Structure 1
């Protein structure tokens, strides 16, 4: 029996909420830190993606419905932890980018999962600040 997009979203987000609580604690997990649009508190989300030059690329599996995307819309200043090191940057939502092609370019296990469970994919690029620029 096919599941509706809403059922899929609710099921996946419930699972991710539990998994993310564990993943955030792993020192090698890539994290995206946004500022909560309501609370103003830092919000850390485990993400998959890849650094390419001075940018970090990722694809949100639920587009505008992802909490971190909503936080980026309110305040695009973010931090990304890559291999245990934090980088400040500015996030850009790229609705005109082809997220499927972007996932192919990122080539990771996470990319496969995002394609399998995602709906309304959205590309996000974080332009990383030069070291010492803040």
Structure 2
């Protein structure tokens, strides 16, 4: 990873971890992804942007396999997604073969713009919802 990308990654993730995510998690209509911590085994909630299409929820990770929630998914693919205040169980699948930039065009505009602006290694994730 280039020095610029590494500095960008550290700056953005530090802001998200300390300021952005704690605020967003408290908003009642914020979409959340709940994974199981790969080391701790504890539930981890991450604000995400995405869209439900049929029985699947689609999102794009800014940092691909470097994102903590993607690493948690790789260890434990069973997740929950809170959409419009309601929790849905599902199984998450990283989709490296999907065109993440094209996928962003089908997802909410504001979040997609932010992901494009700060992301350095985009990765599509599909959650197959069971309820």
- State the shift of 1:28 in Å: 0.5
- State the shift of 1:107 in Å: 3.8
TM-score when scaled to structure 1? 0.94
Cα distance per residue 1:101-127 (max 9 Å; x no partner): 000111420001100110110000000
Is 2:79 the counterpart of 1:87? Answer: no
Partner of 2:29: 28
Cα distance per residue 1:40-91 (max 9 Å; x no partner): 0000000000000000000000001100000000000000000000000000
Partner of 1:5: 5
Query: Could you tell me whether the CA contact under 8 Å between 2:38 and 2:71 is conserved in 1?
Result: yes
**In structure 2, how many angstroms separate the alpha carbons of the residues matched to 1:39 and 1:5?**
28
RMSD: 1.2
**In structure 2, how many angstroms separate the alpha carbons of the residues matched to 1:14 and 1:67?**
12
Cα distance per residue 1:19-56 (max 9 Å; x no partner): 10111111100000000000000000000000000000
| Matches for 1:41-56 after TM superposition, within 5 Å | 41-56=42-57
**In structure 1, how many angstroms separate the alpha carbons of the residues matched to 2:48 and 2:100?**
15
| Matches for 1:92-111 after TM superposition, within 5 Å | 92-111=93-112
Superposed structure 1 runs of 4+ greater than 2 Å apart? none
Partner of 1:125: 126
Query: Could you tell me whether the CA contact under 8 Å between 2:34 and 2:79 is conserved in 1?
Result: yes
Q: Which runs of 5+ in 1 are unaligned?
A: none
Q: Secondary structure at 2:26's aligned position in 1?
A: coil
